[in-house]
Structures are given as structure tokens and as C-alpha cells.
Structure 1
Amino acid sequence: MLPTPTYLQFHALFVVPVVAALVLTATYRLGSRRDVLTATAILTGLALVYTTPWDGELIRRGVWWYGDGAVLVRFWSIPLGEYLFFVLQTAMVGLWVARFRVDTARSLATPVRTRLVGFAAALVVVLSGLALLRSDSGLYLGSLLVWSGPILAIQWLFGWHFLAGEWRTVAGGTLVPAAYLCGIDSIAIRLGIWTISKQYTTGYAIPLLDLPIEEAVFFFLTSLFVVQGVVLYVWLIDRWK
């Protein structure tokens, strides 16, 4: 029987080559190279700072764990590979969405009522998460929704109407990398690199992939954060010029 691949080997096989390919074939239709890369760098830093406490807490709670020999180095109970995932996923999505176009001619001026619609939508996400947290099976999904709420609130409060107008870019920029990440996540689970707790998940799975719905929601939301962040940054900078 072959040994369980390490987390770093997983990155070397499935993540690093994709990021490298995107770097080598980079196209900046969304905005200038400088603006896209600056936005991606800022979001990478935010991803590390904001995700680390949440991720570490769920690992300590046993929401997921890693196979024997899969983790070589940990920092604050979190594998090095996990930190690399935060960085590499952000880079992947940022470079991918850079290939799309947006019309930044729309004014930044937005009525307060319009902004509050975005805030209200984010609040619904948080309240849904809090409802799920009432049971053990809702721990992963509930905490994920509560954790995502503040990011969605900031982004949607600032420019949900602009994002809605650029829905093709937002959808294309989000769904393709999210689908790929779901696919390789399913492979990692089957290889035993990590295991998702049945106790703390709802039991719903993505057909064919047999991937817990929580994992799919995670990759969708985190990819969405990056896409929305880069798009809004480019819009803001273009309007300031």
C-alpha cells in the first residue's frame, strides 16, 4: 500500500502548476498589471490574518484532521500546507479573474439605501450560520457562514450593485477556480491527506465528487471574496485616477 502523500506534495501536484501556468500566461484585461497584483497581494495578507484563527479553531475542534505523515510542519496547530493554500488559492483566483473585463465607468457615489441592501444580505448569511451552529452537524457550515459574513458585508456594502452589473465576470472568475479546487479537494480526501468529520457536517455532498457540501461552500466563498475584492479594487482605483 502506498503511503499517504504529504500536504506539500499535494500542492506540488495540483496547485503550484496551475498558479505557475497562470503566471506564465497572465493577461490583465480586468485592469492594469499593477492594480491586479496589488489587489491580490493585499487580499493574500488579509486571507492569512483573517482565516488563520478560524481555521485553527476548527482543526482544534476536530472538524477535520490530517492523515499520518501528511503534515511535516505546523505553526499554531495549523499545517504549513494550510497557510500555503491561503496564499496559492488567492494568487490563483486573482490571476484568473484578471483575464476578464469590467466596465469601471460607473460612479462610486451610491445611495445609502442601496448600500444597506448589501449589508442586509450579508446579515442574512450570518444569521443563517448562527442558526446552524445550534447543532453539532452545523458546526462547519455554520461557522463558515458566520466567518464569511463580515467580509461579504464590507464588499457588498461598498459595491454589490457594481458587482451585480458585472455578474459575468464575478461568476466566471469565481466558479471555475472553485470547481477546480473542489475537484482536487475530493482527490485529497480520497487519498487520506485530510478527513472531514461526519459529526460536524450536515451529511450533504456534491454528486460525483462525494465532497461534503461544506467544502464546496468554502471554496465558493473564498474564491468569491478574492474575485469581488480584486474587481472592487480595480473599480475604486480607476475612478480615483
Structure 2
Amino acid sequence: MSGPTYAQFHFAFVLPAVAGLLAAATVTRSRTTRPTVWSIDRPYWSGVAIVTLLAVVYTTPWDNYLIARGVWGYGEGRTFVHLGFAPLGEYVFFVLQPILTALWLGQLTLRDGWPEADALGRTTHGRRTLDVGRLSLRYRGVGALAATGLGIAGAVCLRSPETLYLGAILAWGAPVLFIQWVVGLPQLLYQRRTAALGVAVPTLYLWVIDRVALATGIWHISPTYTTGVALVGLPLEEALFFLVTNLFVVQGLVLFRWVVDRWA
């Protein structure tokens, strides 16, 4: 065996990031009174637990299928225990990624209030009147159409070997995005700065460490089932995967906060 293992990857990159964010969060919570995403305390972590459980359940069959198809694989001696076609380290990643992203998101500041319809925060001024009910419905309709379009694009991509991985991500991601955008796109747009920053930072970090894992041979992506397009050596499909999964987590937690605030 030569080169780092999947377990060493977690100990080198994922666990230290989680530990660092946890320490930073502890300091932040003791020194600030600003309204952060997780200022609801226990309910926030209930949301994290729900999102993490859903991530594991929803991702496991998809991940095992793509490994079985040969879309990606692992270097010899880099993994030890397998559950189905996926190594144990893969399931650990399913759990750690939502926690890492949740720890980062939890420190970000929310905008005050939750507009029930006008997600852009616009109000009625003088003669200008907004039909807020129709506006909210319009946003949700746009979200439904966008997610449906992604799903259709994914289904089309699944028909060609070189776009199989790309199509699998789009087709797999579309149902979750459809639900999130239909349920709460106005609220997500209202908190768009927090949501965008919540997605961007962990996604960039995961792109970097994924590139390291590929370069060191911990896992490899099949050229047969990918487009060959790369971003600084990172396959387009890998970049898209981490973007989509972090969208799932961040949007899910922001909407969870919205629901809890409505019930409070």
C-alpha cells in the first residue's frame, strides 16, 4: 500500500475543519448577541440531525449505483471496510459534510423577519402596491420550473456515457431542489446573502480537498463517464456535486429555521 487512505483523508482535512468550526462557534456564541442561523439552539441541531439523516438515506443508493457502474473508484489499499459497493469512509463523509456546512452556516447572520411573500424585501410605498400572494406564488412557480428543467437535463445526459455522471447529479438533485424551492423559495431569496455565503465557503473548501484526494489517488473518476471538463484539475462533475449537496444542506437548514420561527 502506498499513499494516504480514505481514513487519513478524514483525519487530515475533514475532522480538523469540523473541530475548528466547532471551536470558533463556541467562541462566537459566547461573545455576540447578533441573530445567527443557530440562535434557536437545540432546534437548529434537530434540523442538522434531520438533514444529515436524509443525506445518508438519499445518497447511499445513488452513490452505490455509480460506484458499481465504475463512475468512480478508489486506489488500491486506500479503503478497508465496505458496506455494499461504498467504503466506510464514504458513509462517514455523508455525515461529516452536513455537520461541517452546518457549523459554518450557524455563525452567519440572518436578516430580520421572514416575509411571507415578497422574498426581495420590497414593501408598499405610496401608490406602489404589491400583490404579495401572487408574487410568492410566482417565485415558487419559477423554482418548480427551474428544478424540473434540471431534472429533464439530467435525464437527457443519462443517455450518453460521457455525460452519465453529470446527468446522475442533475437527475438526483432535481427532486430535492424542487421541494425546497416550491416550499420556500421566497424565504431563501430573502436570506440570499446568508445562503450564498453558507454554500460558497464550504464548497470551495471541499473542492480543494477533493482535488487533493484525486491527486494523491485516494479515489479516481472514470474518464469514460465524465465530460472531461475540469476546473483547475477538478472534474466539473465533482465541483457540481459539492455545490449541489451544500445547497441541499444550507437551504434545508434555512427553511428549517423559518419553520421553527413561524411555530414559535
Q: Hey, what's the Cα distance between the residues in 1 that align with 2:154 and 2:43?
A: 34
Structure 2: runs of 5 or more not aligned: 30-35, 118-132
Q: Hey, what's the Cα distance between the residues in 2 that align with 1:233 and 1:199?
A: 39
TM-fit CA distance, 1:104: 5.6
Determine if contact 1:4/1:68 at 8 Å carries over to the other structure.
no
1:21-55 CA deviation, whole Å, 9 max, x = no partner? 11122146113221221111111100000000000
Choose the corresponding residue for 1:53, options 61, 79, 98: 61
Secondary structure at the aligned position of 1:199 is classed as helix
Determine if contact 2:75/2:219 at 8 Å carries over to the other structure.
yes
RMSD between aligned residues: 1.4
Choose the corresponding residue for 1:30, options 31, 37, 54: 37
Deviation beyond 4 Å, 4+ runs, structure 1: 107-111
2:122 aligned partner: none
TM-fit CA distance, 1:107: 4.5
1:75 aligned partner: 83
Aligned length: 238
Q: Hey, what's the Cα distance between the residues in 1 that align with 2:261 and 2:62?
A: 33
Task: Describe how 1:28-177 pairs up with structure 2 within 5 A.
Answer: 29-31=36-38, 32-103=40-111, 105-108=113-116, 111-177=136-202
2:230 aligned partner: 205
Secondary structure at the aligned position of 1:4 is classed as coil
Determine if contact 1:30/1:231 at 8 Å carries over to the other structure.
yes
Q: Hey, what's the Cα distance between the residues in 1 that align with 2:88 and 2:116?
A: 39
Determine if contact 1:108/1:239 at 8 Å carries over to the other structure.
no
Q: Hey, what's the Cα distance between the residues in 1 that align with 2:184 and 2:171?
A: 20
Q: Hey, what's the Cα distance between the residues in 2 that align with 1:96 and 1:238?
A: 20
1:45-87 CA deviation, whole Å, 9 max, x = no partner? 0000000000000000000000010111000111000001110
Q: Hey, what's the Cα distance between the residues in 1 that align with 2:6 and 2:45?
A: 26
2:263 aligned partner: 240
Secondary structure at the aligned position of 1:232 is classed as helix
1:100-123 CA deviation, whole Å, 9 max, x = no partner? 122362244665443222111110
2:12 aligned partner: 13
Percentage identity across paired residues of the two chains: 48
Determine if contact 2:155/2:167 at 8 Å carries over to the other structure.
yes
Secondary structure at the aligned position of 1:195 is classed as strand
Determine if contact 1:130/1:142 at 8 Å carries over to the other structure.
yes
- Name whichever of 55-64 and 166-175 sits farther off: 166-175
Secondary structure at the aligned position of 1:65 is classed as strand
The one-letter code sitting in structure 1 at the alignment partner of 2:80 is L
- TM-score normalised over the length of structure 2: 0.87
Structure 1: runs of 5 or more not aligned: none
2:252 aligned partner: 229
- Name whichever of 113-122 and 170-179 sits farther off: 113-122
- Name whichever of 104-113 and 20-29 sits farther off: 104-113
The one-letter code sitting in structure 2 at the alignment partner of 1:9 is Q
Q: Hey, what's the Cα distance between the residues in 2 that align with 1:175 and 1:20?
A: 19
TM-fit CA distance, 1:186: 0.5
Secondary structure at the aligned position of 1:229 is classed as helix
Q: Hey, what's the Cα distance between the residues in 2 that align with 1:131 and 1:35?
A: 40
Q: Hey, what's the Cα distance between the residues in 2 that align with 1:108 and 1:73?
A: 48
